[in-house]
Amino acid sequence: MLAALIEHEQFRDDYAGGGVLPDGPRHGPYWLRSITPDLYEPMSQEKAVQILREWVDPLWDVPTALEADLQREVFARLAAAGGIYCLSDLGDEAIHDWGRVHDHFHEFVLIDRSAGRVTLIVAADD
């Protein structure tokens, strides 16, 4: 399942405003060629929530509307997932030519077998 996700054209997004480039060589801050299924590590729901909460709310209160969106689109999906996988830090050699534009980059793959759904959650900033 992870291999199919990585091969999908929608995975070719640098998350820096350019959108998906169907033939693009980048994913987030990394060269696409550096990402393999074995780099995704199983993670507990609690740890994933902790990472995302720290990313969302480091110094300010989250506006009510944004919190509602996050609850529906992110945290409810985390709660329903039977499997959560986190992309490990790939190291300096995997970072593409301008990948350091991202101050933070967190990626989770959620597998919800009961709904027949795979969800990619990317928390990135630049």
Overall size of the chain counted in residues: 126
- pTM score, whole prediction: 0.92
Q: What is the mean pLDDT of residues 29-34?
A: 96
Q: In this predicted structure, what is the pLDDT of residue 126? A: 65
Look at residue 21 and tell me whether its pLDDT is greater than 90.
yes
Q: Delimit the domains of the chain by residue range.
A: 2-125
What is the pLDDT confidence band of residue 24, given thresholds at 50, 70 and 90? very high
Look up tokens 């919190």; give the residue.
67
The class (CATH top level) of 2-125 is: alpha beta
Q: What pLDDT score was predicted for residue 9? A: 95
12 contacts 19 by C-beta, under 8 angstroms = no
- Using CA atoms, how far apart are residues 23 and 7, in angstroms rounded to an integer? 11
